[in-house]
Structure 1
């Protein structure tokens, strides 16, 4: 969909916006006339060229919580959100590593995953909520996974970190803030670099790897673009936030608000 279909006072922050699902989400929000601030460890020159007036991005290592905290304390986030009637935060950035049994997991890799998958999304959620108190409609999206709700051998860190996002959304929903909605949303299996990373892992590290090989071989992976379209339709709908955890594959026939 192209053109301004929502109020120009809608602004969105998307993490991990340089490739895969994050890039598709940012592009489709911009196509709808929504201003986007991308935050990632690299920039997206393609979106900057296509949307010079409504897109800006920040180069930030989201696994470095000290740098994230310093950036939050600055003026960029507050300045971007100032005056917005509707605010969206999509915590898309994440890592599936380390993929390994517990005795083969390195401390540094565990710390990196917990920082990127949990600490930074929670820090950004709190910062966006605080910086957007004047907005009448605030929506926070955590990118969840089936791994948050089902345990898999070799994925103990990924499962734990995604489950943390689910439980954070459940607890925040209990705050009862009428202008803030939150959902930890699983996008299904999407044909991204993360899927390629999973398929490159040995079965001794991840016993279910062959299942993911079959998904790719049989054309059962959704495209980032198709998944982004479904997610945005849901995020902008009146149904968003009615449940704090959801799977996009279970959601049907929604119209964007």
Structure 2
């Protein structure tokens, strides 16, 4: 049996990962602030397989703790943690960003994955296969003017998971990977296009504004299925 923890499942890639994972019969723990009506109905239909853990991911103190994860991962042959939750904002010039937006981006994109991974590895059954996936971005490897926090937190996240991967390199049952899903037709892309129209500092805005018309946005479900097949099959 495979037990899968996914953060940020309310829409976009997270919702697609939830759908793909639950469809193949995984036991799923969805972590986030909001859940769709369909996800709630599935939880009601399959209470033994689907758990919705409502919390503010930006507050690390309220992430699933050791006892919660230990109970959820019990009896599993394979355990998977997918860090999908992320925010692209604030977009704008450094010097004009709010402290609240800065700290929220760091909390969601970096602190939560670090804290949750630490707890997850401790709670995982000692004989289970362990898979940890950090959904990253091309922004981790290139400068996108106006995206200081997103670029920084994704790059820092990849570094953290590279270090963890090195730590467990001699344990064949454990895999820690950074995954770049590419551009997708998600709410995050809608937010980027919305900000592009506000006059915020974002010199490369046109590339994101033109992405839908140019057919550069992949289907989230297709991406989710590929990620699960490649890294958590």
TM-score by length of 2: 0.92
- 2:68 matches 1:72: no
User: 1:160: how far off?
Assistant: 0.4
- Aligned match of 2:189: 195
CA distance in 2, matches of 1:206, 1:138: 39
User: 1:213: how far off?
Assistant: 1.3
- Which of 46, 51, 59 is residue 56 of structure 1 equivalent to? 51
Q: Structure 2 vs 1, CA of residues 16 and 135 (structure 1 numbering), >3 Å: closer, same or farther?
A: farther
User: 1:22: how far off?
Assistant: 0.3
SS in 2 for 1:123: helix
RMSD: 1.4
Gaps of 5+ in 1: 1-8, 237-255
Higher relative contact order (CA 8 A, sep 6+): 2
Contact 2:91 2:200 in 1 (8 A): no
User: 1:47: how far off?
Assistant: 2.4
CA distance in 1, matches of 2:26, 2:221: 17
Runs of 4+ in 1 over 4 A off after TM superposition: none
User: 1:148: how far off?
Assistant: 0.3
- Aligned match of 2:226: 230
CA distance in 1, matches of 2:190, 2:228: 24
- Aligned match of 2:94: 102
SS in 1 for 2:210: helix
**What does 1:57-206 align with in structure 2 at a 5 Å threshold?**
57-68=52-63, 71-73=64-66, 75-175=67-167, 176=169, 177-202=171-196, 204-206=200-202
1:12-41 alpha-carbon deviations (Å, 9 max, x no partner) = 000001111101101101111111000001
- 2:14 matches 1:35: no
SS in 1 for 2:102: helix
User: 1:77: how far off?
Assistant: 1.7
1:102-128 alpha-carbon deviations (Å, 9 max, x no partner) = 011111111100010001011111111
SS in 2 for 1:201: helix
CA distance in 2, matches of 1:157, 1:88: 27
TM-score by length of 1: 0.84
Gaps of 5+ in 2: none
- Aligned match of 1:3: none
User: 1:204: how far off?
Assistant: 4.4
1:90-147 alpha-carbon deviations (Å, 9 max, x no partner) = 0000100110110111111111000100010111111111001424310000010000
- 2:207 matches 1:211: yes
**Number of aligned residue pairs:** 226
SS in 2 for 1:139: strand
CA distance in 2, matches of 1:133, 1:38: 19
